[in-house]
């Protein structure tokens, strides 16, 4: 069930026109140019961004936390 959802997210986010970069290539681009996988630009749904973030992060892809996730990193102090 999760695999099917991830496959659908990836299909919507990627295009045959995108360059075929590996995790190692993205990592070198991150070190040299500060690039990371642009989840916010690829996916509009916050839950899709979160699922892809955790998948890519576990596979060692350079990816930044989605903005929605960053909102919950701090304490709930007011």
The domain containing residue 46 runs over which residues? 36-71
Instruction: Tell me whether residue 48 is in a domain.
Output: yes
Instruction: Tell me whether residue 63 is in a domain.
Output: yes
Instruction: Tell me whether residue 49 is in a domain.
Output: yes
Contact 49, 43 (CB under 8 A): yes
- Alpha-carbon distance of 40 to 27, in angstroms, equals 18
Instruction: Tell me whether residue 61 is in a domain.
Output: yes
User: What is the pLDDT at residue 78?
Assistant: 47
Instruction: Tell me whether residue 10 is in a domain.
Output: no
User: What is the pLDDT at residue 29?
Assistant: 76
| Region 62-76 average pLDDT | 67
Task: Tell me the DSSP string of 17-34.
Answer: TS----HHHHHHHHHHH-
- Domain tally for the chain? 1
**Residue partners of 49: CB distance under 8 A and separation at least 6:** 39, 40, 43, 66, 68
Q: Which residue has the higher pLDDT, 40 or 26?
A: 40
Confidence (pTM)? 0.67
Instruction: Tell me whether residue 62 is in a domain.
Output: yes
Instruction: Tell me whether residue 56 is in a domain.
Output: yes
- In this model, does residue 63 exceed pLDDT 80? yes
Instruction: Tell me whether residue 31 is in a domain.
Output: no
């Amino acid at each position: 069930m999760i695999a099917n959802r991830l496959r659908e997210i990836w299909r919507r986010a990627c295009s045959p026109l995108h360059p075929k970069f590996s995790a190692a290539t993205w990592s070198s681009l991150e070190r040299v140019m500060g690039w990371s996988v642009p989840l916010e630009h690829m996916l509009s749904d916050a839950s899709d961004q979160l699922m892809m973030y955790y998948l890519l992060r576990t596979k060692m892809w350079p990816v930044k936390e989605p903005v929605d996730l960053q909102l919950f990193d701090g304490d709930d102090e007011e």
